[in-house]
Chains A and B, each alone.
Chain A
């Protein structure tokens, strides 16, 4: 059963992202803050660290393609970034201890790096004229904050789900 729960959670997170995006941008004291929900990639990072890197990369390609086609109409952006981030996550965890808090911090950091790469790309193709400092204050910090909050609330649940799946798999092998 849990076997199917893992892709199901990914689908739900994929569909929930635009719902949360509707609340953004928020205006506080004349300044605008963009909150970009990155729930799916955070979940995929967890899968790639605790469960299976190959599986995470495959999910990354599939959902990246859906994201590209449905939301941004530039095919070949997220379809590369999602698997790349999963790959980086599992690679860096060969050197670091697998504690939940460390995973959360690393996942959010990777999302920040991805956000920066995206900013560079959109600046390159003239989709945005935002300056680096404006990007840093009005997008990056608020996005990091929002996604950190999300992971602090649900990170343990992701880990619990993946552990349950690992147990199930062991049992079926025995």
Chain B
């Protein structure tokens, strides 16, 4: 190794201290990216978007070929489902009409379920897959905000964690981040059961639903959807299906393993859900201590 003089040694020491400071600064739970970061993100995001288009096209072609090979098998399976589908559609239509009529009757205009979809393309996936992140080509300028729900056609996949002007970063549900929680509810036979999606079991490849009331009974195969009570997510986005129920470490509440319905590899097109009912800041234990009640009543007044 090279010979160190005193001057070099001091320089090395200073740069190590600077480095540790820089890392600890960026590890803080930051609400926003700094200006130079935003500029870099937007520039690289632009270049990344240019590359993403042709590669997405190519992977799309391969995907088409693959699905063409499976056509026969899929056709058989779908045909058997089709008969049930017509019946289901009729009853859904019926229920929707009834729901609308009843809501009109009690003069209820807003619902936690309503959201405005923002369609976005995935331009990159964090290549060193330590944190599960994807980067979208829509940002602040398109109305994307921090903590919004992100989903594919098959279900919820994550939420927005960082926004710059023209890109946004999504942390997937597959994460070990302890601050990452999603308020969810299980559509049980005897009414809804509430809980929090908290953490991910890497060996099983399943999400963990915690803090469920121990008096409630859950069954395998029941559907888990977002509850909309977290403040920003709309209600009713499908997350997954329960595969196993057990009690948690302290035995006070129940926990359940949830198999996500969405496919997390090869995500290309996603929808960012912008909730129409006033979003409340301070989701997931990151309260900003702002007076939210005044702000929300004002905006509600504007909407009406």
Chain A residues close to B by CB (< 8 Å): 11, 15-26, 32, 34, 36-37, 65-66, 68-77, 80, 91, 118, 122, 125-130, 134
Binding stretch for chain A, among B64-72, B93-101, B123-131, B225-233 = B123-131
Report Cα–Cα, A91/B135, bound state, in Å: 37
5 contacts across the A-B interface (CB closer than 8 A): A23-B266, A24-B265, A34-B129, A36-B128, A71-B133
Residues of B within 8 A of A125 (CB): 27
Q: Is A18 a contact partner of B40 (Cβ separation < 8 A)?
A: no
B116-149 interface bits toward A, Cβ cutoff 8 Å, 1 = contact, 0 = none: 0000001111111111010100000000000000
A74 to B28, CA, bound (A): 9
Q: B265–A76 contact, CB under 8 A?
A: no
Which of the 9-residue segments B51-59, B182-190, B235-243, B277-285 touches chain A? B51-59
Provide the bound-state CA to CA distance between A18 and B49, in Å. Answer: 11
- The distance from the CB of A136 to the nearest CB of chain B, in whole angstroms, is 14
Residues of A within 8 A of B52 (CB): 19
CB distance from A53 to the nearest CB of B (A): 12
Kindly list chain B residues whose C-beta atoms are within 8 Å of the C-beta of A15.
47-48, 51
Residues of A within 8 A of B123 (CB): 18
A122 to B23, CA, bound (A): 12
- The residues of A that contact B44 with a CB separation of less than 8 Å are 66, 69-70
| Chain A residue nearest to B20 in the complex (CB) | A76
Interface residues on B, range: 35 or more
CA distance A71 to B126 in the complex (A): 5
Q: Chain A: which residue is nearest B264 at the CB level?
A: A25
Q: Give A152 Cβ to nearest chain B Cβ, in Å.
A: 20
Bound-state CA distance A22–B162 (Å) is 20
B23 touching A76, Cβ below 8 Å: yes
Contact: A129 with B51, CB < 8 Å?
no
Bound complex: CA of A118 vs CA of B127, how far in Å? 13
Residue of A nearest to B58 (CB): A19
Bound CA–CA A77/B177 (angstroms): 19
Find residues 43-95 in chain B having any chain A CB closer than 8 Å to their own CB: 44-45, 47-48, 51-52, 55, 59
Closest to A24 in B: B129
Which of A22, A75, A129 neighbours the largest number of chain B CB atoms within 10 Å of its CB? A22
